[in-house]
Structure 1
C-alpha cells in the first residue's frame, strides 16, 4: 500500500498504541467506515443531547418538531463531515490542523478551548453516573464521592487503550443501546395512543425555530469539531463523510428525537427517567452506563489529543490519565453544577475554529497541507487568529443560529483575508518589477 502523501518517513515507527498524536495516521493503519461509524455513534449517544431534544419536543407540534430536528442535525452532520473529509485526506486531527491555521503557538489557543470543553463534559458525565446510580438504586449518599472516583478513572480505560479500546466498547454498547431505545420508544408510542395520539399533542412551551435549530446544532458542535480524532483514521474522504453523517445526522438525530419523544409523552427528556417511568429501571441503569461510558471515553480521548499538541508530547496515555484525574476532581468539587452553562457558551466560540480550518485547507493550502512534522510555521498566524476573533464576535452577538453564523463568518473572513493578501502581494511584485 502506498504511503499517504502527508505521511512522514518517521511516522511508522511511532508506537501504534499512542495513536499518532503528533503526526499523520499512516495509510496502513486506516480503518473501515464500519469501525469509525461505531465509535462515532457511541460518541454521539449522549444523555445531554436528549435534554436538548426535550426542550424542542415541548415547543412545537409533532411535524414541526421532526423538521427542526432534521434540519439541526443535518447542519451539524455536514459541518462535522467537512472537517472529517479534511482529516481523512491529511491524516491529521483538529489540534494538528490548527497549527497551519493559527500558527505553532497560536494553535495552543484551540487546544485549551477544545481540551477544557471536553474535560468539562467528562466531569459532568462522571458526576451524573454516580449521582443517578445512588438515586436509582437507593445506595447511601455517602457513596457518591467514591463512585465518582471509581467512574472517573474507570471510564478512561478504553480511551487509555486508544482507538482499539474505543472500537471494542462501541461494538458491544452501540447495538445494545439501539435495542434498548427501540423497546422503550415502542412502549412510549403505545402510551401516547399511537401516531394519531402523538399528532394530537399540543406544545406546552414556546421557542422560535431559529433558537431550536441553534440548540440542536450547538449542543454537540464541540464534539463535531473534534470528530477528526477518529476520521483521520478513515481510508478515504468518502469513508470519513459517510461515517460522520451516520453518527452526527442519524445518531445525534436519534438522541434528540428520543428526548423530544419522551418530553411529549412523559414530560421527561432523559431516556433513563423514561425507562424508570415505564417500569424498566434495571434497563434504564444499563442504558445510562453504556450511554455515558461510550461518550466519556471519547471526551477524555479528545482531551488527550488536544493536550498532546499543547504540550508537544507523544505520551497520549499519560495525558489521558491526567485528564481523567482532572475531570474526576472537577466532579468531586461540584463544578459540574455550574460548568454546563459555560460549556454551552463555548459552543459559540468553538465552531469558528472549524470554519477557519476549512478555509485554510480549501482556500489557503488548496487541499494539500505540507508535512506537519517538518513544516516551518510561524509562531502566530495573524490572518487565522483575526478570522477566528471576527467569527466568534459575530456569533456571540448574532440573534440568528450562532454556531452556524460563527462557522460561515470565520471561513468567509479568512478566505477574504487570504485573497486580499495575495492580490496585494501580486500588485506589489508588479510595481517592483516595473521599477
Structure 2
C-alpha cells in the first residue's frame, strides 16, 4: 500500500516555523521540506516561482558563454542558435517543473521514485556535485570582477567573503532567495540596457551588428550544447522550487517556460552583442573596457548572488537526500566550503570543459523523470512512499543509462547535440517502459 503526503491538517504544518522545536522535543524540521513532499498549506503563488527562476537564470557565466559562441558565427545565425537553445531549455525545464509541482518533491526525491534508492543517490551526487562546481565558478568570477574593478592584486579575500555571504539567503530558504531575486533583476536589466546601448553606438547600430562575421571555428551542435549546458544542470533541479507552486499544471508550465526562454535568450543575446561589437567574449572583461567597472560591481554582485544562492540551495537539498537527513543546512555549509576551496584553485578557467561534461551526463536524468511522469504516472502524483522504495528500479535506471550512453557517444563523435539527444533517448525509453509497466507504479488513488 502506498502512502500519501500528510494533509495540511496534520502536524507537518509545524515545520513551517523557522527554527521552532516540535512539541515532542525533537529537532526542528526544515521548513523547506528537503526530504518530504511540500504540503498544500506551504505552497506559494506562481509569481514567486517565476521571480526565483528569473533571478536564477540571470547568470553572468551564461553571458560569457554566449560571447564565446557568438565569436564563431555571424550575428544573425548566432541569434537563431540562441533561440533554439533557450527553447529547448524552456520545454525541458517547464515539464520538470510540472512534475515537481504535482508531487511536491525535489528533483532528487523524484529521482528516488523513478530510479530507486541507489539511483536516487546517483542523482544527488551528480546534481549536487555539479552545483557545487557552479558555485565555485561563480565565486571565482566574483573575485576576479571585484579585484579588477578596484585594482587589487589578489582576489582570494573576495572569494572567501563573497562565498560565505552568497550562502546566507539559501540558508534562509525559498523566501530568502525570492527577496534577493526581486532586488537583483531590475539592476541586471539596467546593466544589460547600458551594454546594449553602448555596443550599438560602438558598432554602428543594428546594421553594423548584423554585418559582423564569425570565425567559423565552432559547429552548430557544439554551440547549442554549450548554451544548453550553461543551465541544463541547474534547470534539471527546477523541482527544488516548483514543488512550492500551487498553480495548475498548464499555468506552471507556461509561466516557467516563458521565464526560462526570455531570460536565457536575454543572457545569451547580451553576451553575444558585447562580443560582436567589441570582439571581447568575456562579459566581465568587456565591462571593464567599457568603463563600467563601478556600476558593474554592484549590479553583477547582485546578479551572481541570485544564481549562487540557488546553487547552494540545490546542493543542500541534494545532500539531504543523499544522507537521508531532514535538514539541508549542514550540506549548504559543507558545499559552500568545498566551492570556495575549488574557486581558490582557479576552477573557473575550466568552464568550457565543465559545461560540455554537464551537458552530457545530466540531461538524460531529466528525460527519465519527464517520460515516467507523463506515462507511468499519467501526469499525476503517484503517491508512492519515499521510504519504501527498492534499491534500483530497472526501467528508470535502464532508460537513464541508455540516454547517457548515446549522449556520451555523440560527444565522442562530435555528432549533433549530446544534451538534446540524451534527453530524447532517455525520455523515449522511459515512456516506452512506462506504458508497459505503469500499473505497477501507479498509486491506488485516482
Q: Same fold (TM over 0.5)?
A: yes
Contact 1:73–1:248 (Cα < 8 Å) also in 2: yes
Change (3 A) 1:7 1:95: farther
Contact 2:376–2:439 (Cα < 8 Å) also in 1: no
Aligned partner of 1:109 in structure 2 is 122
1:344 and 2:345 correspond: no
1:173 and 2:163 correspond: no
Among 44, 50, 57, the alignment partner of 1:31 is 44
Among 196, 203, 226, the alignment partner of 1:215 is 226
1:396 and 2:408 correspond: yes
Aligned partner of 1:12 in structure 2 is 13
Q: Deviations over 1:377-427 (max 9, x none)?
A: 211112211111110010111211111111110111223334455799xxx
Aligned partner of 2:196 in structure 1 is 185
Aligned partner of 2:21 in structure 1 is none
> What's the CA shift for 1:60?
2.4
Change (3 A) 1:65 1:337: closer
1:413 and 2:440 correspond: no
Contact 1:22–1:314 (Cα < 8 Å) also in 2: yes
CA distance in 2, matches of 1:365, 1:255: 35
RMSD of Structure 2 on Structure 1 (CA): 2.3
Contact 1:11–1:23 (Cα < 8 Å) also in 2: no
Change (3 A) 1:135 1:194: same
1:150 and 2:166 correspond: no
> What's the CA shift for 1:373?
4.9
Aligned partner of 2:28 in structure 1 is none
Among 229, 235, 241, the alignment partner of 1:224 is 235
> What's the CA shift for 1:73?
0.5
Q: Deviations over 1:234-274 (max 9, x none)?
A: 12223422342233211111111111111100112343322
Change (3 A) 1:261 1:385: same
CA distance in 2, matches of 1:189, 1:175: 21
Contact 1:41–1:246 (Cα < 8 Å) also in 2: no
Change (3 A) 1:263 1:6: farther
CA distance in 2, matches of 1:87, 1:307: 18
Among 47, 58, 83, the alignment partner of 1:45 is 58
TM-score (norm 1): 0.90
> What's the CA shift for 1:29?
2.2
Aligned partner of 1:329 in structure 2 is 341
Farther-moved stretch of structure 1 (58-67 vs 306-315): 58-67
> What's the CA shift for 1:298?
0.6
Contact 2:102–2:381 (Cα < 8 Å) also in 1: no
Farther-moved stretch of structure 1 (23-32 vs 182-191): 23-32
Aligned partner of 1:127 in structure 2 is 140
Change (3 A) 1:258 1:381: same
Change (3 A) 1:299 1:8: farther
Among 79, 82, 87, the alignment partner of 1:69 is 82
Q: Deviations over 1:280-312 (max 9, x none)?
A: 211121232122111111101100011111111
Alignment of 1:244-393 (within 5 A): 244-338=256-350, 341-373=353-385, 376-393=388-405
Q: What SS is found at the alignment partner of 1:104? A: helix
Change (3 A) 1:78 1:123: same
> What's the CA shift for 1:66?
1.6
Q: Deviations over 1:200-236 (max 9, x none)?
A: 2222333333332222222211111011111111122
Q: What SS is found at the alignment partner of 2:14? A: coil
Aligned partner of 2:26 in structure 1 is none
CA distance in 2, matches of 1:304, 1:161: 12
CA distance in 1, matches of 2:128, 2:237: 10
TM-score (norm 2): 0.88
> What's the CA shift for 1:124?
1.4
Aligned partner of 2:96 in structure 1 is 83
> What's the CA shift for 1:339?
6.6
Q: What SS is found at the alignment partner of 1:21? A: coil
Aligned partner of 1:196 in structure 2 is 207
Change (3 A) 1:9 1:386: farther
